[in-house]
């Protein structure tokens, strides 16, 4: 056992001015901490995703149709490209866009495996705070290219790579913190609602970027960068990463255990006694049943989701009469669907106890719906909106469930014999593998795009088929276990 003395300064201040931290408060005190953890981690990852979104919006002004516009006196004489931002004024601009997307995502996926291991061994409050602050710095530096008139491709790639690396602090950190505070009983619902931070962050990122994109696209990066950096300071001041750090019972622990540690009529001490646990190794995490299958399935599921994330504004602009700003605004409806899909997947998973079946069912319906969206999304703006929401529900539902409730369940699997120090590693393996797919998707889209949008959608449908096939063994296993339980109940 060891004593934990690094309680956040904001929490110490709250303790001194409020009696909500009194041991006599019991369950109410633990509930207040749980609510604060949910809100802070929600805010944290919402800001992470918000800072990733601007590039998908700004693509529309990096390379656009300049016809009908009038170049100024200081602009290039080539009227076909005078309004573009070099080096994206070339004919291979779609490949350059794909390169930027993949620079971020490959750096993100590679760094994720390392971040998961680090997160198990460091203070997660510092880990998340620094990650958010540096994410803001690199987002700001990308936007600074507009102010400083930077046109070097290597600069944009470097900012994407550095941004991708520091962004890996987010997911292992927030999932581990939430997993530390909440048990298995209703994880699907809690994580389903909580995971809407991804979609809300995408929506906010699109709206903030769209507000500046046509006047000064640099601000589309600078403003989100400032917001996420500010959020990092809030995490530093107020986030409690583990119940035992503030004398609260851990998930599954009886309230009486807390009373044994801290006698009645005492306020919660600054230094709490916490148990020592050894972090799990990478290969041990891979051996947990289901980790490999879910990781590989997420590779293809996330490939689809991130291709939509990075290319939707451009697709909507090309398939409708909407301009850059309105296309960015409409693209947020995919994330609205994602919020609904994540909650629905969590509720179904909780009710049935069959996560793989839930994911597989949504993938089965998502595959033909993407074909329908490609065929009929251009009929009208209203039809595009309706189909976009439905596709968002079905595409993001499995992705959301695997990266949250499934990862948390596997990170506390019975084979770990009670150790809670596996959440970050398991989460990083699953999301890191998925992030490789997220990197491959936009890159493939940048290449396939030259053959038409129809080819891009065929690639997406094929990816979801593969995601589905990788879950077959787990689906069979869940049905077998369900049938066995039913027989035992009848018997």
Task: Show pLDDT as tens, one digit a residue, over the chain (491 residues).
Answer: 455 567 888 888 877 776 665 555 556 778 888 889 999 999 999 999 999 889 888 887 887 766 555 555 444 445 455 567 788 887 778 778 878 887 888 898 889 888 888 887 888 999 999 999 999 999 999 999 999 999 899 999 999 999 999 999 998 889 888 878 876 656 677 777 888 888 789 889 988 998 998 888 999 999 999 999 999 999 999 999 888 878 777 766 655 555 444 444 444 444 454 444 556 667 777 778 888 899 999 999 999 998 887 788 878 887 777 776 788 778 888 888 988 998 898 889 888 888 899 999 999 999 999 999 988 887 888 888 899 999 999 999 998 888 877 877 776 556 555 455 567 778 888 888 888 888 888 778 878 887 888 899 999 999 999 999 999 999 998 888 888 877 777 65
Instruction: Print the SS3 string covering the chain.
Output: CEEECCCCHHHHHHHHHCCCCEHHHCHHHHHHHHHHHHHHHHHHHHHHHHHHCHHHHHHHHHCCCCCCCCCCCCCCCCCCCCCCCCCCCCCCHHHHHHHHHHHHHHHHHHHHHHHHHHHCCCCHHHHHHHHHHHHHHHHHHHHHHHHCCCCCHHHHHHHHHHHHHHHCCHHHHHHHHHHHHCCCCCHHHHHHHHCHHHHHHHHHHHHHHHHHCCCCCCHHHHHHHHHHHHHHHHHHHHCCCCHHHHCCCCCCCCHHHHHHHCCCCCECCCCEEECCCCCCCHHHHHCCCCHHHHHHHHHHHHHHHHHHHHHHHHHHHHHCCCCHHHHHHHHHHHHHHHHHHHHHHHHHHHHHCCHHHHHHHHHHHHHHHHHHHHHHCCCCHHHHHHHHHHHHHHHHHHHHHHHHHHHHHHHCCHHHCCCCCCHHHHHHHHHHHHHHHHHHHHHHHHHHHHHCHHHHHHHHHHHHHHHHHCCHHHHHHHHHHHHHHHHHHHC
Decide if 80 is inside a domain: no
State whether the Cα torsion 106-109-112-114 is positive or negative. Answer: negative
Decide if 87 is inside a domain: no
Q: What is the spatial distance between Cα 146 and Cα 471, in angstroms, rounded to a whole number? A: 45
Decide if 363 is inside a domain: yes
Q: Are 213 and 58 in contact (CB under 8 A)?
A: yes
Decide if 72 is inside a domain: no
Decide if 115 is inside a domain: yes
Decide if 109 is inside a domain: yes
How far separated are the first and last CA of the chain, in Å rounded? 46
Tokens of 86: 């070099």
pLDDT of the residue at 242: 84
Q: Please give the C-alpha separations between residue 73 and each of 70, 79, 148, 160, 460, in angstroms, as whole numbers.
A: 10, 12, 20, 33, 44
Read off the pTM: 0.76
Q: Which backbone phi and psi does 2 adopt, to 5 degrees? A: -140, 165
Q: Give the β-pairing of 2-4 and 272-274.
A: antiparallel
Domains held by the chain: number: 1
Decide if 372 is inside a domain: yes
Decide if 82 is inside a domain: no
Q: Residue 122 is part of a domain; what is its CATH number?
A: 1.20.1250.20
Domain that includes residue 340, residue range = 2-64+92-253+264-490
Q: What is the spatial distance between Cα 427 and Cα 168, in angstroms, rounded to a whole number? A: 11
Q: Are 75 and 82 in contact (CB under 8 A)?
A: yes
The total of other beta-carbon atoms located within 10 Å of residue 35's CB is: 11
Q: What is the spatial distance between Cα 23 and Cα 36, in angstroms, rounded to a whole number? A: 18
pLDDT of the residue at 198: 83
């Amino acid at each position: 056992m060891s004593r934990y003395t690094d309680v956040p300064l904001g929490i110490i201040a709250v303790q001194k001015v409020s009696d909500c931290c009194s041991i006599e408060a019991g369950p109410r005190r633990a509930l207040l901490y749980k609510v604060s953890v949910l809100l802070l981690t929600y805010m944290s990852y919402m800001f992470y995703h918000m800072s990733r979104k601007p590039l998908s919006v700004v693509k529309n002004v990096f390379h656009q149709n300049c016809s009908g516009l009038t170049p100024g006196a200081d602009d290039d004489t080539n009227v076909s490209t005078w309004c573009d931002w070099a080096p994206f004024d070339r004919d291979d601009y779609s490949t350059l866009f794909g390169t930027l997307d993949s620079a971020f995502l490959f750096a993100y996926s590679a760094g994720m495996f390392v971040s998961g291991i680090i997160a198990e061994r460091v203070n997660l409050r510092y880990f998340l705070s620094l990650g958010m602050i540096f994410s803001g710095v690199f987002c700001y530096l990308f936007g600074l290219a507009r102010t400083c008139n930077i046109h070097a491709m290597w600069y944009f790639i470097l900012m994407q790579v550095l941004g991708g690396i520091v962004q890996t602090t987010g997911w292992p950190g927030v999932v581990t913190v939430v997993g530390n505070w909440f048990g298995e009983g209703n994880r699907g619902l809690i994580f389903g609602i909580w995971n809407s931070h991804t979609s809300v962050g995408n929506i906010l990122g699109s709206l903030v970027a769209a507000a500046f994109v046509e006047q000064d696209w640099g601000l589309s990066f600078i403003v989100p960068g400032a917001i996420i950096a500010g959020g990092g300071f809030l995490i530093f001041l107020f986030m409690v990463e583990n119940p035992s750090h503030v004398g609260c019972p851990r998930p599954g622990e009886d309230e009486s255990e807390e009373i044994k540690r801290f006698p009645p009529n005492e306020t919660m001490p600054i230094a709490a006694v916490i148990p020592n646990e050894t972090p799990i190794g990478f290969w041990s995490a891979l051996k947990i049943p289901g980790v490999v299958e879910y990781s590989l399935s997420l590779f293809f599921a996330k490939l689809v989701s991130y291709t939509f994330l990075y290319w939707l504004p451009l697709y909507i602009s090309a398939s409708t009469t909407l301009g850059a700003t309105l296309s960015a605004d409409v693209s947020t409806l995919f994330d609205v669907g994602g919020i609904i899909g994540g909650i629905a997947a969590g509720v179904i998973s909780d009710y049935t106890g069959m996560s793989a079946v839930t994911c597989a069912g949504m993938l089965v319906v998502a595959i033909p719906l993407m074909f329908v969206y490609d065929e009929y999304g251009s009929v009208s703006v209203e039809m595009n909106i309706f189909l976009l929401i439905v596709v968002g529900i079905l595409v993001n539902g499995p992705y959301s469930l695997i990266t949250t409730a499934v990862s948390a369940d596997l990170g506390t699997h019975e084979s770990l014999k009670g150790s809670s120090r596996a959440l970050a590693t398991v989460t990083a393996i699953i999301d890191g593998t998925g992030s490789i797919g997220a990197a491959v998707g936009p890159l493939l889209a940048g290449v396939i795009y030259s053959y038409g949008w129809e080819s891009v959608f065929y690639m997406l449908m094929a990816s979801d088929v593969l995601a589905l096939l990788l879950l077959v063994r787990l689906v069979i296993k869940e049905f077998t276990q369900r049938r066995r339980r039913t027989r035992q109940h009848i018997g």
